[in-house]
Structure 1
Amino acid sequence: MDWARWHDAYDVPGSSLERRLRVVQKWIAAALDSGAVRVVSLCAGQGRDLLPVLAAHPRRDQVRARLVELDEHNAAAARRAAPPGVEVVRADAALLDAYADAVPADLVLACGVFGNVSEDDIRRTVGLLPRLCAPDATVIWTRHRREPDLVPRICGWFEGGGFERVQVEGEGEGFGVGVHRYAGPPVALEPGARMFTFF
């Protein structure tokens, strides 16, 4: 997979990825409006979800973010667009070690992950996400709605693991954007733990 060219669909007006991006950005802005100051992004790509929202936000100078991306071209693009306070780390985003010193976060982005990993890995990732979350953290995640449509099951895994549903959008659009709030206790980072493996 050419992950840099994959991002081109974001630039096609009306494409599924472009519509999904607008929904994700809306919820990122809402989290920043609510006071999120520490952000981590898994498989951040070129940072197209967070960086444009952050650039236009009045509290942008207060936000500290870590974007974790393995692809060198995407990481370089994100680094060029990143303002002060945003760190782009080229590393395996599946490893919890990649988030040391950047968590617990108020906003965790897991966009573009759940459509590229196994069902077991989605469930494992959801189970490990509390280790990245501050109390009341917002997690924004995405998943396509093709069969098997796992969005309802993913919601159940979140809600059985200490999260409360805020919203799920995209039904009928071909994509799902989930927003959950972490309502559980603080959980320490687990060194060496792996959340998922891309297909």
Structure 2
Amino acid sequence: MDWSSWHDDYDRPGTPLARRLADVQGHVRTALSEAPPGPLRVISLCAGQGRDLIEALADHPRRTDVHARLVELDPRNTAVATAAVESLGLSGIEVVTGDASLTDQYAGLVPADLVLACGIFGNISDRDVERTISLSPQFCKPGTVLIWTRHREAPDLAPAICGWFESAGFERLYLSPADAGYGVGVHRYAGAGERLVPGVSLFTFGSARS
């Protein structure tokens, strides 16, 4: 998979990816608007070109409150994200070229107010999806919003994903309809949070559909 050209469908109106992006960005804006006053911490795993967050912040009234770290392995994508951050003057966003599966990447910026796990769950094994969810409280505090994506085609893992999140202390806020052509889920953490454990790998990124 060419993970740079993969983003091209974002710019083709009506495609499932374009509609998914709009859905995710809407929930990002809502999460930021509803967060308590003050600085906001955001992390994005496998951030790609960062469009989920960067474009949502472009004209958001809380754009200067956000301190974010976007982690992405493909340097072509991080170059695009960095250029977008600079053009919009989003000085609080850090773009990192690195392995997003490693917990070390998020040290110093967790617990976060918003966690983005978009484009991951369709590209890793079901076992790794469950493992990543079970470890995600390390990124959270009470009230943290976590947004994730995965296709809803057979086998539709979304119901199981929601169950795994709920077992890990999250409550479901939203799940896109099964016939939407894409999958977006939003959960809020209701647990006490856990200490970030360095040196842990959450998943092995594969080649399945996202």
Give the TM-score band, short-chain normalised: over 0.9
8 Å Cα contact 1:168-1:176 kept in structure 2? yes
Partner AA of 2:9 in structure 1: A
Gap runs ≥5 in structure 1:
none
2:68 to 48, 65, 69: 65
TM-score, normalized by length of structure 2? 0.93
Whole-angstrom CA distance in 2 between matches of 1:133 and 1:72 = 27
State yes or no: 1:141 paired with 2:141: no
TM-score, normalized by length of structure 1? 0.98
Deviation (angstroms), 1:101: 0.7
Identity %: 58
Deviation (angstroms), 1:170: 3.6
Residues 73-112 of structure 1: matches in 2 within 5 Å? Answer: 73-82=76-85, 83-112=90-119
Deviation (angstroms), 1:176: 1.2
8 Å Cα contact 1:38-1:106 kept in structure 2? yes
State yes or no: 1:123 paired with 2:130: yes
Moved over 2 A (4+): none
Gap runs ≥5 in structure 2:
none
Count matched residues.
Answer: 199
The worse-fitting range, judged by mean Cα deviation, of 168-177 and 157-166 is 168-177
- Secondary structure of 2:58's aligned partner: helix
User: Paired residue for 2:51?
Assistant: 48
Whole-angstrom CA distance in 1 between matches of 2:159 and 2:75 = 34
Richer in strand (by share): 1
Partner AA of 1:190 in structure 2: V
User: Paired residue for 2:14?
Assistant: 14
Deviation (angstroms), 1:163: 0.3
Whole-angstrom CA distance in 2 between matches of 1:186 and 1:129 = 9
